[in-house]
Chains A and B, each alone.
Chain A
Amino acid sequence: MLRGRTLSGVEYPVFVLVGMAPFLLYRNTALRLMDSLRENRSLFGYKQIKPLDTYVARVIVETCLAATVYAILVFGFAWFGFDMTIHSPLQWVTTLFLGLMFAFGLGMLLALITHALPSLKIVVRMAFFPLYFISGVLIPAYYLPPAMMPVLLLNPFLHILELIRAEVLPHYVPVDGVSETYVITFTVVLLFLSLGTYRARRMHLISTKNG
């Protein structure tokens, strides 16, 4: 699968790290939000604390964790002689933030859905597994079957990862059809949906009637 150690002039470990670190952050954020209500139930004794606070806190914690781990790994890689420079840092940070917003919106929607239907939790967790393969975490997106591309490109994670790679690695060319506009639109719609649902369900979330 891998011709030697390099992919379009990039060392494979660097290629994986650059895509996998944000992907894991987004996945953890989206999945951990489902548990944040249960984990923080005792804090709702202070009635100023709302479920949304616990969601935001969880996102901040996950981001700090991921940033620290990433910084250590980048330092380690650089120590062993890999080229870890970032091609366009400002765009990179913007895309990372965009991805985080997407993950937050997704996680919140999943949290609200699984609060109403707790048995869906396991389905959601399992659904995240194939995302590894169809989002191009371990392999470049142009290795994915071209015939499936129109379907695969519905997945915003694929767009985000390709964008991030193109911004970090100087010679990386994302597959056709990857667009920032799609991700932004998707994120805005998702945030609107999840915040709206939250607004409608906010009273039920504190209520202990679902255990």
Chain B
Amino acid sequence: MFELRNVTKSYLTPNGRRYIFRNLTLAIPPGKNIGLIGRNGAGKSTLMRLLGGADVPDSGTIATDRSISWPVGLTGGFQGSMTGRDNIKFVCRVYGATGDSMREKIRYVQDFAEIGDWIDEPIKTYSSGMRSRVAFGLSMAFDFDYYLIDEVMSVGDAQFKRKCADVFQQKLKTSNIVLVSHSMPEIEKLCDVVLLVKNGGIQVFDDVSEGIKAYNS
């Protein structure tokens, strides 16, 4: 579960401070797949980063008792001049997977991303598709209670997409997701509770179709 208490978040722009959320307090029930919907720039991705601890609010607290992934498919964290294997090792060490479990994760990512011996080439030589396949595989190699997904369900070709969907179905049996998406069918298919981010506030809908209706109106 997540609990937000008095959360305020703002960004500094050249024209002054812009508030994304002001004094937000809400609780999200445990064991649910969470969908974040809202217009562009409403603050969905910010909320997701706040939930994941990758960003911190100006004031207030966000509490959770679950393990939360980094944003699935995060490619910005890769160091371009290092090889794919080194980048995977780096993340493994950050998450405490060393020795055999590290080797196993590297093999998993290599197989999953279908990059073969490209794994020993620097990341900057990869095509963008390869890079996101590695990033997605890396996220799937670790087990979390919540996976944070920011509109990256669509990497690679049709075959790879099917593979992603399969592994995702596996993961969903034991884990939950926080999904940011503009695709309502996807939200409807995957999520149990919808958070509509609108005008600096958040409405929680336990009924997904009702949330989508509120978003469309």
Interface of A toward B, CB cutoff 8 Å: 42-49, 203-204, 206-211
Contact = CB atoms under 8 A, between A and B. Distances in A.
Interface of B: 9-12, 52-58, 68, 70-71, 74, 76-77, 91, 94-95
Contact of A46 (B9, B10, B58, B77): B77
B58 A45 contact: no
B88 to A, nearest CB: 13
Contacts of A48: 94-95
Given A46-B94, A49-B94, A209 B76 contact: no
Nearest to B59: A203
A2 B95 CA distance: 57
A98 B68 CA distance: 40
Given A42-B74, A209-B58, A47 B9 contact: no
Contacts of A44: 54-55
Contacts of B68: 47
B12 A47 contact: no
B53 to A, nearest CB: 4
13 contacts: A42-B77, A43-B77, A44-B54, A45-B52, A45-B71, A46-B70, A46-B91, A47-B68, A48-B95, A206-B56, A207-B57, A209-B11, A209-B58
Ranked nearest first, the 5 interchain pairs of A and B with the lowest CB-CB distance are A42-B76, A47-B53, A45-B70, A207-B56, A45-B54
B76 A45 contact: yes
Contacts of A42: 74, 76-77
A206 B70 CA distance: 15
Contacts of A45: 52, 54, 70-71, 74, 76-77
